[in-house]
Amino acid sequence: MRDELDLPPEEISNLIHEIDRRLANFVARLPDDAAASLDGPGEELLARFAEPPPESGAPVDEVLDFLFEEVIPVSFNAAGPGYLAYVPGGGLPSAGAAEYLAAIVNRYTGVWVAAPAAVELETQAIRWLAELLGMARGALGVLTSGGSVSNLIALVAAREKLLRRDFTRGTLYVSSEVHHSLRKAARVAGLDPALVREVPVDDRFRMRPDALAEIVKADRAEGYQPFFVCATTGTVNTGAVDPLATIADVAEAEKLWLHVDGAYGGVFRLVDELAPLFVGIERADSFAVDPHKGLFLAYGTGLLLVRDIDDLRSAFGGSAPYLPRMQEVGEHVDFCEVTPELSRDWRGLRLWLPLRLHGAGAFRHALREKRELTLRVHDALRSEPDVEIASPPELSLFAFRQRHPGTSIDEENRRNRDLLDRINDRGRIFLTGTTLRGSFHLRVIILHLRTHADRVEEGIEILREELRAARTGIR
């Protein structure tokens, strides 16, 4: 009898070929596709998702056409060159190929003994990044699903190490610009939200280390146990990079765990001219970086680097009689001992293969390109008479608004939201906004694999035209 699931080689080849054919077409069309489809799914499509489970199979063509024609287009186009929204990333084809390879060979990387060479290869990719990104010698880490989970793991490790069982008075410190995942992490880690102390920022939205030191001292005087500070290298609102070296001084003096959230901006340490912004990273206890943003991987790969992997082992280690023996200490890592996960995919391959195939230089060059393109947009907007830039770009992100003198703040916000809608309606670039000190701002972030000078020049023209139309009322 024919095996219904374990397909013969020619049928697998056909399936892959049919996917490849459609993918080639998908990628070729990206430059012409809308930067985002904002219409949402129609009634007819939603009805398809209410269909009952199928008892028998359907033809390959029918299923793939449904995906490529009905499902994939209903979305922000997060694989396209016009995607300048939130924090973009990629869909790097070589990483996608690695994911396919890893899934078919199905190596188990939760424990070292199950696939020691595959685990070592993943550890090597992590070590490469630790070194490229300036962590202390001997730093290791673990690949996660993204920055939110990396931040959570770091916070739990710090809590276990510094507070042990009683954490009712353990305080942690974040800037007012911190990513919301830190507050979520605190809640999930069982910490009262009131224990998350917000440190004010300077006029460029960077954490003020003097204020941090003061708040920590005041807390200690009142019997709290300060244990954790999160600095950010590249905030989501304005791309601000907190002063790492000075924050590290405070962390050292006060014996706080220093976590650095570089989910967006950490990879810019690869660009030589930006390295000065990262002085102090070698003193961090942990550093979260998102390969699915700045290394252009598809969604689903985050990285937590830690100075001492044993801190993660202490927090997440565990054994059971049905599991194989774990490595005791040191460099050979059982990944199930350093995260809440047990079974996991061989996710290291999607980092290792692109680094091995393209070299770190290719990523360095791409990141330098994104930064230079951002400076180009910044210069163009700076020469507009009524544009106010919240803070110049430190990496590849900045926020701006159009001023409308003589109008109320509410009216000005409304007009800037309207400006954003009109820009996005053009379909060539997709921007998102944020609120800074009560004023709505538009954000420009250039970090997409496929965003190059041609799209950026086109985007600048669109920005100029829509700013002029909003200014003069003529369109």
Ligand X SMILES: *Cc1c(COP(=O)(O)O)cnc(C)c1O
Distance CA 142, CA 309 (A): 9
Chain centre to alpha carbon of residue 111: 26
The nearer residue to ligand X, 244 or 460, going by C-beta atoms, is 244
Alpha carbons within 13 angstroms on the beta-carbon side of residue 258 total 28
Alpha carbons within 13 angstroms on the beta-carbon side of residue 62 total 3
Classify residue 387 by its DSSP letter. E
The nearer residue to ligand X, 109 or 232, going by C-beta atoms, is 232
The nearer residue to ligand X, 314 or 434, going by C-beta atoms, is 434
Cα torsion angle, 31, 34, 36, 40, sign: negative
The secondary structure element, H or E, covering residue 278 is none
Site residues for ligand X per CB under 6 A: 87, 146-148, 179, 181, 232, 236, 261, 263-264, 290, 302
Cβ atoms within 10 Å, residue 461: 13
The nearer residue to ligand X, 303 or 349, going by C-beta atoms, is 303
Q: Compute the least distance from the CB of residue 114 to ligand X, in Å.
A: 27
Q: Compute the least distance from the CB of residue 236 to ligand X, in Å.
A: 5
The nearer residue to ligand X, 81 or 302, going by C-beta atoms, is 302
Q: Compute the least distance from the CB of residue 227 to ligand X, in Å.
A: 20
Strand 140-144, strand 302-306: pairing: antiparallel
Tokens of residue 386, six digits:
């009524």
Helices and strands, counts by H and E, the chain: 15, 13
Chain centre to alpha carbon of residue 183: 17
Q: Compute the least distance from the CB of residue 118 to ligand X, in Å.
A: 24
The nearer residue to ligand X, 264 or 430, going by C-beta atoms, is 264
Task: Give every strand in the sheet of 387-389, ordered side by side.
Answer: 387-389, 397-402, 439-445, 433-436
The nearer residue to ligand X, 91 or 112, going by C-beta atoms, is 91
Do 373 and 456 meet the contact criterion of CB atoms below 8 Å apart? yes
Distance CA 228, CA 251 (A): 8
Distance CA 437, CA 388 (A): 14
Distance CA 128, CA 124 (A): 6
Identify the burial level of 335 via C-beta atoms within 10 angstroms of its C-beta, where 0-12 means exposed, 13-18 middle and 19 or more buried. buried
The nearer residue to ligand X, 431 or 463, going by C-beta atoms, is 431
Of 284, 224, 227, the residue nearest 254 (C-alpha): 227
Q: Compute the least distance from the CB of residue 425 to ligand X, in Å.
A: 26
Q: Compute the least distance from the CB of residue 237 to ligand X, in Å.
A: 10
The nearer residue to ligand X, 179 or 443, going by C-beta atoms, is 179
The nearer residue to ligand X, 102 or 185, going by C-beta atoms, is 185
Q: Compute the least distance from the CB of residue 180 to ligand X, in Å.
A: 8
Q: Compute the least distance from the CB of residue 350 to ligand X, in Å.
A: 15
Tokens of residue 470, six digits:
């909003």
The nearer residue to ligand X, 303 or 420, going by C-beta atoms, is 303
Q: Compute the least distance from the CB of residue 50 to ligand X, in Å.
A: 29
Q: Compute the least distance from the CB of residue 183 to ligand X, in Å.
A: 11
Distance CA 196, CA 187 (A): 10
Chain centre to alpha carbon of residue 311: 23
Q: Compute the least distance from the CB of residue 260 to ligand X, in Å.
A: 10
